[in-house]
Amino acid sequence: MPFTQNFNYCMEQKKYTAYKFAKIIGASNQGVLNWQSGECIPYPKTRQKIADHFGITLAELDGDELPVLPEKGAKKSALDPKTEGVSPTVQELFDFIDTATDAELNGLLRYAQFLMSKR
């Protein structure tokens, strides 16, 4: 099954556990384990979210060949519709979030909650 093979390859390249990846994309740990085993595949919207996270296209994720993951810090060649036209500050924040550890994300979230409480 192309998706399962390509998904597992991407997970191995990024050294993600099922638990960590589930937290990153907002899925259940069991769901990610099921995708890895080939028991089921995620819905198209979720597969697109997975592909976006790894910096590849949905066609590459679902394709017959292993995807070529972009180098760390490399930008996608096509504009991402979610970040197209955003300010440089917002783009920098998106880039940080994409590469941050769980501990860094938790710290960022606590700080954001603090700032929102001051409004």
Question: What are the pLDDT digits (tens) for 70-105?
Answer: 876 444 444 454 555 667 787 778 777 877 788 888
Q: What are the angstrom distances between the C-alpha of 72 and each of 54, 57, 59, 89?
A: 10, 16, 21, 20
**Which has more confidence, 1 or 101?**
101
Question: What are the pLDDT digits (tens) for 2-38?
Answer: 899 999 999 999 999 999 999 998 999 999 999 999 9
pTM for the predicted model, two decimal places: 0.60
pLDDT band at 48 (very low <50, low <70, confident <90, very high): very high
66 backbone dihedrals φ, ψ, rounded to 5°: -65, 135
Query: Cα 97 to chain center, whole Å?
Result: 10
pLDDT at 77: 43
